Amino acid sequence: MKKFINNNDDFLKESLTGFGKAHSDIINVNLDPSFVSRKNKTKDGKVSLISGGGSGHEPMHGGFVGHGMLDAACPGFVFSAPTPDQMQAAAEHVDSGAGVLFIVKNYSGDIMNFEMGAEMYSGKNDSIITNDDVAVEDSTFTIGRRGVAATVLVEKIVGSLAEHSGTLEECKKLGEKVNKNAGTMGVAFTSCTVPAAGKPTFDIGDDEMEFGVGIHGEPGRKREKIQPSKTIVGNILEAILDNLKPEKNEKNLLFVNGMGGTPLTELYLVYEDACQILQSKGIQVTKSLVGNYCTSLEMQGASITLLKCDDEILKHWDAPVHTAAMRWGM
Amino acid sequence: MSVSFLISQAKSVQKVIDENSAEIEVLDQKIGDGDHIFNIQRGLKLVVELEDAIKDLPLAKALNMIAMKVLSGIGGSSGALFGTFFMTMAKSSDLDKDVDFNKACEMIISGIKAMKERGKADVGEKTMMDVLLPVSEKLNELKNESEFKPGLNEVIKIAEERMLSTKDMLATKGRASFLGERAKGHIDPGARSSQLIIDTICKSVINN
């Protein structure tokens, strides 16, 4: 394992401390229990949005704390759900009287810990669960699909509604709509290495890719030989379109997300391939996002998310945002 | 059950888990995301380190401190589930009186029941509950017997059989559930670590 690391026990604390110093104009980092919160207190009467999850997906979620997005984020150990005391402390810190909405990715550990955090918190709160990964078949026999990159879009769009005086109920409803309108699928070329493990999570040949990979290096739909970008992108989009079934006149946001180890040059190439394929099918792309937003440590690979947008979603997507990892309009 | 019993069991379990950590890590990497063993090891280390803080405390207080440490120090599914287990044990009544075998069984049974409710998982879903629920049922049969040591040998056997039975299961809960058929052929890492914990504690009770 080659990483910038001093010792494993301090890995997360040192990284969080650095994150706090680098973005001290936007956020504060609290340790023991760990949470990232806005530098300026949430204004009175604004619904507070709190997300969180295992670390290793940076900039998600700490990088999305700030005006127009989250009020706080709770980072767990690498790829491990955060603990209930973190959510409780973050909620107590940011709640300004309008209630707290927890945004949780659909993993057993995250759901259990957020549930316990919500039970321990005495103020008004509710939760939404994201589950946009179409690589996993949704059936009544599983806990459902994984929550992956569309969580970023949910946080941005609901963040804007909360900033514009949306109530807790309205924020939850919009978040659920965005989640339902989004589909994601990812491909990995290499594994990632969890610092505590010291070696790659899975073995993969030089000429192989994991199709439908999860954001923790979990296996996906199948292991395949590597193919030209157009073929890979075409297969990903086919799975997403099968699931979302967008109408021809519908507007869409196309999000190409890097897993951490793929350069932007390749991500833009993926974006171009995806645009061409969608255009050939008569599907409109009106908004875009390209970059490393929901990563898996140093994994090489990318995911594509398509979000069907109505006017409400478009308005809140365009609204100003000022966080460490996303900034426009201000 | 006493505070010194809890501390000595935590130390023995820590040793056994450390000895088997490589195997559990590989199991989790096959069907999960590889964090389970680190979470269990971190939790055990934190509990063992509590020794000085809890050794002179009443049982209920010590259990509560263990619960809070596990809940806030581990994370992931294991932290929530084992934290729930100890929290429920700490809430048992009459902990200021002598906790005999019968009472200890009842505490463990109620702890496992709370874990089941928290995780919303049942037998047959390829999780640690495949080991813990049958063990809990067996303890319920055993708890009133005056000679319980032979029964604990059966608990050891049940835990092992149920752990092995997860190998051919499809997962419907936990992170392995995302894999469908690909999860078959691998023992569930949570079932393996739970079985090792039960095995260690039962053997220690039998030999004392």
Smallest Cα–Cα separation from B207: which of B9, B2, B6, B4? B9
CA distances from B27 to A73, A209, A299, B179, B192 (A): 31, 21, 21, 14, 9
Identify the pLDDT of residue B204: 94
pLDDT band for A140, please (50, 70, 90 cuts): very low
pLDDT tier for residue A143 given thresholds of 50, 70 and 90: low
- With beta carbons under 8 A apart, name residues in chain B contacting A136: 178, 180
- Could you say which residues from 170 to 189 on chain B have a Cβ atom under 8 Å away from some Cβ of chain A? 170-175, 177-180, 182
Q: Decide yes or no: CATH 3.40.50.10440 for domain A10-180.
A: yes
Q: What's chain A's Rg over C-alpha atoms?
A: 19
Instruction: Among B29, B76, B83, select the one facing A80 at the smallest CB separation.
Output: B76
User: Domains plus CATH for chain B?
Assistant: 3-206 (1.25.40.340)
Structure tokens at A102: 């927890």
| pLDDT classification of A151: cutoffs 50, 70, 90 | very high
- Which of A76, A84, A194 shows the shortest C-beta gap to B71? A84
What CATH number does domain A182-316 carry, 3.30.1180.20, 3.10.20.600, 2.30.30.60, 3.40.190.10? Answer: 3.30.1180.20
ipTM score of the complex?
0.86
A226 phi, psi to nearest 5 deg: -70, 150
Q: How confident is the model at residue A138 (pLDDT cuts 50, 70, 90)?
A: low
Per-residue pLDDT of A200-249, as tens digits, reads 988 899 999 999 998 988 878 889 999 999 999 999 999 999 999 999 88
As a whole number, mean pLDDT of residues A10-31 equals 98
Q: Does B12 touch chain A (CB under 8 A)?
A: no
Q: Is A183 helix (H, G, I), strand (E, B) or coil?
A: strand
Chain A residues with CB-CB distance to B84 below 8 A? 116
C-alpha–C-alpha distance, residues B63 and A314, integer Å: 51
Residue A141 has pLDDT above 50, yes or no: no
Q: Coil, strand or helix: which one is A65?
A: strand
Marked catalytic residue, from A23, A61, A216, A316: A216
Q: For chain A, what are the domain ranges? A: 10-180, 182-316
Question: Which neighbouring-strand residues pair with A127?
Answer: A102
Short-list B38, B20, B130, B124, CA closest to B78: B38
> What confidence score (pLDDT) does residue A83 get?
96
Question: What is the rounded distance in angstroms from the CA atom of residue A196 to the CA atom of residue B195?
Answer: 23
Q: Band of the pLDDT at A41, cuts 50, 70, 90? A: confident
In 3-state terms, what secondary structure has residue A103?
Answer: strand
Query: Cβ contact (<8 Å) for A218 and B180?
Result: no
Residues of chain B short of pLDDT 70, as ranges, are 175
Q: How confident is the model at residue A142 (pLDDT cuts 50, 70, 90)?
A: low
User: SS3 of A263, please?
Assistant: coil
Is A232 in contact with A266 (CB distance < 8 Å)?
no
Average pLDDT, rounded, for chain A:
95
Local confidence band at A108 (pLDDT 50, 70, 90 cut-offs): confident
pLDDT value, residue B103: 94
| pLDDT grade for A160, boundaries at 50, 70 and 90 | very high
Q: How long a stretch of residues is chain B? A: 208
Tokens standing for A11? 């890995």
Q: Which two tokens stand for residue A39?
A: 């530098």
Helix (H, G, I), strand (E, B) or coil at A23: coil
| pTM assigned to the model | 0.92
Residues A214/A220, Cβ–Cβ less than 8 Å: yes
Phi, psi of A271 (to 5 degrees): -60, -45
**What average pLDDT does the segment A101-120 reach?**
95
